Amino acid sequence: MWPEIMQINVTTDGEFYHFTSHPANVYIAGSELEVRMSCTAAPLSNRAWIYSWRLNNQYLSNQPIGNAIFIGYDTSVLTIRPRSSIHDITIFGNNNNFTCVATNNNGPITSNIARVLRIGKPYFQGNSLVNTAVTYVTGQQATIICKYTPFPEIPVTLLWYYTNNGLPLSTSSDGRISISLDGTVYFANLQFSDAAPYRCAVRPDEPRTTTNIIFYSGNTTLNITPRYFGPEFFKTSLNARGRVGSSVTLECIARGRPTPSISWCIYNPNTQLCNNIQASAKYTFNQASNRLTINSLIPQDAGTYRCTARSTRGSKFANNNLQIDPQLTWITRFTSMSGSVEDTVTLPCVALGAPPLKYTWYKQAILLPMTNSRFSMATTNGNLTIRSLNNDTGVYQCKVEDRYGSIASGGYFEVKVFAARFTAQMPKQQIIQVGPSAQLICPIDGGPKPTIDYFFNGNRINLLSNKYQGLRTGNLLIRNVVTSDGGNYTCRGRNRINPSNQYVTNWATVHVYAPTKILDGPTTRDFRIGSTVTIPCNVTADTRIVNAVSVAWQKDGQPLQGSKYVVRNSYPNYALTINNAQIPESGNYTCTMTAIIAQVPGQRIIDSKTGTINFNAIPAAPRLIYGRLINSSRVFLNWTFASGNENNSPLQKFVVQFKSNYIATVRSLLEISNINQRSVFIIPSPYMTYTFYIAAQNGVGLSQSSNQWEINNPHTSVPTDAPTNLYSVADLTDLTKLTVVWTPLTGEQANGPGLTYLLRYRISGTVNSYREIDVRASSYTITGLQARTRYDFNLRARNDIGRSTTFIDHIGCTCQEAPIGTPFNVTVLVTNTNVVINWLQIPLHLQRGTIKTNKVRIARATPYAPDTIAIAAGTSIIIYGLPNNTNFTVEINGINSVGEGPYSIAKAFRTNGLDTAHAPSLANPISADITNVTIAFQWTISGQPFYYQPQYRLPNAIWQSGNNLTRQSTRVVFTKLSPNTAYQFRVNAIYFIGRNISSNILTVQTKSYTGQQVTPWYQQAWFIIVIVIAGLGLVIAIVVILCKGRRKAGKFPVPKDKQNPPIPPPPETNNEEYDTIKRPPLPHPQTETVHQGDDVLLDNDSIDSLEQYADLPGLSKFNEDGSFIGEYGDKDMDRYSQYNRDSVVEQAGSQYGTVRDDASYHTNHNTLDVNDNNTTFSTFV
């Protein structure tokens, strides 16, 4: 059933129901006459709020509860008073939840919970009151914890006192005594003066007027006895979170004797550099810099904040990671709306904040249970879906909470019940256009939603077809509109409220026209002042109404006026040109096309497009009107900035700029985000002349600098900064020398005249006194050291005023060590399955010597499968043919002569869809003559493998591999084959990550005897016949020539005084078994080169001659003994010749065996000797 029919109320949709002020907790101490709470709901346009109050969801009245009576329980201010003479209110504890309820004639909303909290509970109980004594040695760290028992939600301040005299214990200016945010006392190093009893105290902060209530713990007595030790950390923030716009405090509490000093910097893991943090409005320090507060947080403040504790005993740092969360704000908030009974509706509620967000819905100020199956809330936001609407009218409120706070928004939701009816007039003549879709306007609605039927030219439309769809608004969606969709349409509808079999009906004639609209119109754009710009307005129209098209331009709803505007008034281009535009020409520009349909009287097609056009520029420069050095540590600057100088772009900030007498470049010193601020105090460095400027920044950019103001600070002090990037380099030719190098201070950091550096060193792990050296440069070579020994170094700056209190330290060695840093700024450019990897080399101060090699480790992400490749020290490598559509990581390290450094942070990348790993295409043998000496092959390939691996085998036997060929190779020569034998050949393309792709297989049969070759032309029959016919007189000459020809044997000439070696007899059958294949053993091949005097007889027709090998392009040359000289190797492979033996490793189970990439394995010769007795061949490099 649905609710009874009601008159439809006129509601104001779009109004937000929420509280502008919520009731707050009230704290009482001792006897109080009364307490008050108040609340205020946001005013509405046509409704008044009525207030009431609840205690634990029970509405308050004039009836007392316990010892309390309530006054103003029906107003926005609630007063709670005791009803007896005992001035106390006894409703305390956790079950004490007051809420304010604001109600209008649509329903109520509820406020946040507030409590009345009593202060008076003893904070210290049991063991916290027991007196204890602890004995320490001098210089030892110590911790005293305040073990109080807090009462929930009462803000307190923790205090510490000396028990003997009652004086408060304060933190020390040098950071030796610190109190953490949780109230724990830390002694960085104990002194004899610290021997005393201590006790902590708790002082409630509320109520503000009652501050004399203090609760004390038991005593902790420290007994002291001497020791020295280096800096360590008691406590650090480690991981902290803050919200945009708020402040966050990080803490680093150190211990050590002497007391360590604390400094802070922002660490960049990519560059491995740390930028020092100076005190400013953005950054403030407390407790001797133990606490760093970062104010006005923005997302860019997220990062690693490093604190460093230093003393003469050494230094230590700790990283504190800061996460910045967004401020809790609305993305889509619920407002008043309505729905039809039995329908489904979704109430929006989406916010942005620190995850996880908690969404809660209230109806009529009562928590809405989600146990009803009709209600469901989205899993990723707070959108509330209500199905089968029924008695669901009321005020709904959505509350969103994150770790920092909450926001809420509400509104009135009305479930409407009414008979189906036309909610607006249905146009009798409707125009639609050819295109993907159009709608027939039929505004029928009802509660519940009516059933609507549609008719076209008297025929009922099938809504189950893909052509038509009935919409919730009552309109009919027509898809793929064509001219034939024009005609007479009828729509009718009814619901259960309508009388039986009675429909509301209306009709319309639909006319179909070709697309008539604006194709390209104005959009939101920014242009610079003084520009001449053209704003498009291109239209198209049905041919029947082209001449009836008109276009009008408006700016901010008004017709254009002035000579600056020029409109092109010619179909189809009606562009607007604005000449020499200035700020007044900024505004909303609308292009409106109107096409009058003469065939349908009173009908027209109208289309418009609007774009916001802004003409702006960088701001005008501020004017610096005053500057003065107030004292040695403060400069005051004052400037003006006239209204309107923002140049039509919102002002974002002011920037204080400066240059100095040391560095003439103008730099930014301070950014001021408060755009209403016109003055600033600056802490100047001593002994420096400043030239100050002010600039303004808007959305376009930074203005020109203002006029300058020069201020000289004559005051001096010791340097406050330490040199940076301290490292040492051993002299490997003389291990008693060590060169220490650092980045010196700039003149701006000198703080006075006579800047030098004090370099101190001693053998590590000893208590020996430091040796000190005064250095004026940025490096120093120390001689006479002990070889292969570690030394402690510390370096500080000093000037004529004195030594700096800050220093940098380093442990060096009169030896070479493995690198301690990593390459950084690793980038990967992916092109299909090829990747270009670039990086920056390890910083010098982290190399610990000279980087000779970089190792690149690439690994599949899942399952993890790493491969490495080593290259000569560089910053780039190209890897070809990785598997496609695969996730990888790449890491890089550096290697010096001692060993490897750590790998860089893994950089993830993914290869694309096109696989660039291809198989070689092996062609038939190059030579026309196939002998037992040589078979030459060449191949083509469209990819770029890492290298090639040629292989051969007897049919059905195991493939045999030799040395690998460079990736530029395209030819291989097999030698020392056996006669009358069938061989199979192939070439494998080897890609990174163990990808082996084989070519096609070629089978080649060698000749039947050694040395068989093609008969020369002068032994051919036709030549003999010609010679015979020429005359018997030439017979003797012919015989001599024929005899001479028969003396030639094989590919190399035989001297006249030596006969050809005999052809070996066929081998005896020896049923030798090889991989289960029976075959006869093959004889050892024989080759021989014979010289005659200084001449070598060559056969120019033989492909195997030395001369032809020498002349073929891209092939190797021979030595005099017939061996190859590697002249067709790959010069580019020089960089790969340093691959270590861990580089490319074939995957387990591969039939190719292990693939190496060391220098001995990549060849520059493509000749391979085959010896079938041991089934191997060699590739000469």
Q: Which residue has the higher pLDDT, 222 or 697?
A: 697
The pLDDT confidence band at residue 673, using thresholds 50, 70 and 90, is confident
- Provide, rounded to the nearest whole percent, the portion of the chain with pLDDT above 90: 45
Residue 102 CA, distance from chain mean position = 46
Above 70 in pLDDT, residue 1173?
Answer: no
Would you say residue 963 has pLDDT above 50?
Answer: yes
- pLDDT confidence of residue 1082: 35
Distance CA 851, CA 898 (A): 10
pLDDT at 661 over 70: yes
Give, in degrees to the nearest 5, the angle at Cα 173 between 171 and 177.
Answer: 35
pLDDT of residue 889: 92
pLDDT tens across 257-310, in order? 788 889 999 888 877 778 788 888 889 998 888 999 999 999 889 999 999 998
Tracing tokens 């002291």 back to the chain, one arrives at 224
pLDDT band at 1104 (very low <50, low <70, confident <90, very high): very low
Contact indicator for 1052, 1089 with CB cutoff of 8 Å: yes
Calculate the dihedral angle through the C-alpha atoms of 519, 521, 526, 530, rounding to the nearest 10 degrees: 120
Positive or negative CA dihedral for 498, 503, 508, 510? positive
Kindly tell me if the per-residue pLDDT of 1158 is higher than 90: no
Q: Is 851 helix (H, G, I), strand (E, B) or coil?
A: coil
Cα–Cα distance for residue pair 1121/3, rounded to 1 Å: 110
Q: Is the peptide bond before 863 cis (omega within 30 degrees of 0)?
A: yes
| pLDDT recorded at residue 775 | 95
Q: What pLDDT shows up at residue 1163?
A: 44
Give mean pLDDT, residues 71-94. Answer: 73
The residue whose two tokens read 């006669």 is: 979
Task: Return the H-helix or E-strand segment holding 198.
Answer: strand 197-204
Rounded to 5 degrees, what are φ and ψ at 961?
Answer: -120, 155
Per-residue pLDDT at 1086 = 34
Choose among 345, 419, 347: nearest CA to 388. Answer: 345
Distance CA(595)–CA(572), nearest Å, equals 13
The H-or-E segment that residue 242 falls in is strand 239-243
Buried b (16+ CB within 10 A) or exposed e, 1093-1120: eeebbebeebbbbbebbeeeeebbebee
The residue-averaged pLDDT of 163-180 equals 83
pLDDT value of position 288: 85
Instruction: Grade residue 226 by pLDDT with cuts at 50, 70 and 90.
Output: low
Task: Report the DSSP beta bridge partners of residue 512.
Answer: 432
Burial class (CB in 10 A: 0-12, 13-18, 19+), 562: exposed
Q: Report the percentage of the chain scoring pLDDT > 70.
A: 80
Whether the per-residue pLDDT at 1117 is higher than 70: the answer is no
Q: Quote the CA–CA distance of 147 and 139 in Å, as a whole number.
A: 25
Q: How confident is the model at residue 117 (pLDDT cuts 50, 70, 90)?
A: confident
- Apex CA 128: angle with CA 124 and CA 129, to 5°? 80
Give the highest mean pLDDT range of 175-184, 482-491, 627-636, 1170-1179: 482-491
Closest residue by Cα to residue 883 from 864, 862, 860: 860
CA torsion 54-55-61-62 (nearest 10°) is -150
Contact 833, 884 (CB under 8 A): yes
In this prediction, residues 994-1004 reach a mean pLDDT of: 85
Residue that wins the pLDDT comparison between 894 and 26:
894
pLDDT greater than 90 at residue 1162 = no
Residue 525: pLDDT band (50, 70, 90) is: very high
- Per-residue pLDDT at 675: 86
Residue 1052 pLDDT grade (very low, low, confident, very high; cuts 50, 70, 90):
very low
Q: Which residue carries 């406590």 as its tokens? A: 235
Residue-wise pLDDT tens digits, 125-146: 666 666 788 877 777 788 888 8
By the 8 A CB rule, do 538 and 517 touch? no
| Mean pLDDT within 950-971 | 85
580: region left, alpha or beta (phi > 0 left; psi from -120 to 50 alpha): left
Residues 6+ apart with CB under 8 A from 625: 638, 639, 640
Sign of CA dihedral 109, 111, 112, 117: negative
What does the alpha-carbon distance between residue 746 and residue 640 come to, in Å, rounded to a whole number?
A: 33
Compare 574 and 84 and report the one with higher pLDDT. 574
Contact (CB, 8 A) for 552 and 559: yes
- For the segment 936-942, the average pLDDT, to the nearest whole number, is 85
pLDDT at 1087: 31
What does the chain come to in residues?
1181
Encoded amino acid at 63, one letter: Q
- Average pLDDT over the chain reads 81
Cis status of the peptide bond prior to 979, with omega within 30 of 0: no
Residue 29 confidence (pLDDT): 66
Check pLDDT > 80 for residue 1014: no
The C-alpha atoms of residue 209 and residue 188 are separated, in whole angstroms, by: 36
In angstroms, how far is CA 1171 from the centroid of its own chain?
57
**Bridge-based pairing state of the strands 314-325 and 239-243:** parallel
Q: How would residue 1046 be classed by pLDDT, with cut points 50, 70 and 90? A: low
Residues contacting 897, CB < 8 A, separation 6+: 732, 816, 849, 850, 852
Spatial CB neighbours of 500, under 8 Å, sequence gap ≥ 6: none
Tokens, residue 413? 């939701």
The predicted-structure confidence for 460-497, as pLDDT tens digits, reads as follows 999 999 999 999 899 999 999 999 999 999 999 999 99
In 411-438, which positions are buried (b, 16+ CB within 10 angstroms) versus exposed (e)? bbbbbbbbbbbbeeebbeebbbbbeeeb
Return the closest-CA partner of residue 71 out of 43, 108, 33, 102. Answer: 33
| Residue 909 to residue 814: CA distance in whole angstroms | 41
- pLDDT tens-digit readout, 585-632: 999 999 999 999 988 888 899 999 999 999 999 999 999 999 999 888
Q: Which of 91, 62, 63 is nearest to 74 (CA)?
A: 62
The answer to whether 222 and 199 are in contact (CB under 8 A) is no
Mean pLDDT of 748-759: 95
The reported pLDDT for the residue numbered 205 is: 73
Higher pLDDT, 82 or 296: 296
Give residue-wise pLDDT tens across range 195-213. Answer: 889 988 888 776 654 456 7
Cα 253 to chain centroid distance, Å, stands at 32
Sequence-ordered strand ranges (E) for 970-1048: 971-975, 982-991, 995-998, 1002-1005
Spatial CB neighbours of 89, under 8 Å, sequence gap ≥ 6: 28, 32, 35, 66, 67, 68, 80, 81, 82, 116, 118
Query: How far is Cα of residue 616 from the mean position of the Cα atoms in its chain?
Result: 33
Looking at the chain, the number of H-run helices and the number of E-run strands are 3, 95
One-letter identity of residue 152: P
- Computed over its alpha carbons, how large is the radius of gyration of the chain? 46
Q: Is the pLDDT of residue 829 over 60?
A: yes
Distance CA 608, CA 551 (A): 9
- Cα torsion at 279, 280, 286, 292 (round to 10°)? -80
Please write the tens of the pLDDT for every residue from 712-747: 999 999 998 999 989 888 888 899 999 999 999 999
CA 705, CA 693: separation in Å to the nearest integer?
6
Beginning with the edge strand found earlier in the chain, give each strand of the sheet holding 688-698 in spatial order: 667-672, 651-660, 688-698, 709-713
SS3 assignment, position 269: coil
Based on the number of CB atoms within 10 Å of its own CB, is 246 exposed (0-12), middle (13-18) or buried (19 or more)? Answer: middle
Low-confidence winner among 533-547, 763-777, 996-1010, 1153-1167 (lowest mean pLDDT): 1153-1167
As a whole number of angstroms, the distance between CA 694 and CA 704 comes to 9
Whether the predicted pLDDT of 1047 surpasses 80: no
**φ, ψ for residue 1035, nearest 5 deg:** -60, -45
Contacts 24+ apart (CB under 8 A), 600-607: 600/429, 600/431, 600/511, 602/429, 603/429, 603/431, 603/511, 605/431, 605/433, 605/513, 605/516, 605/517, 605/541, 605/545, 607/516, 607/517, 607/518, 607/539
On the CB side of 326, CA atoms within 13 Å amount to 11
- Average of per-residue pLDDT across 874-885: 87
Mean pLDDT for the stretch of residues 323-330? 93
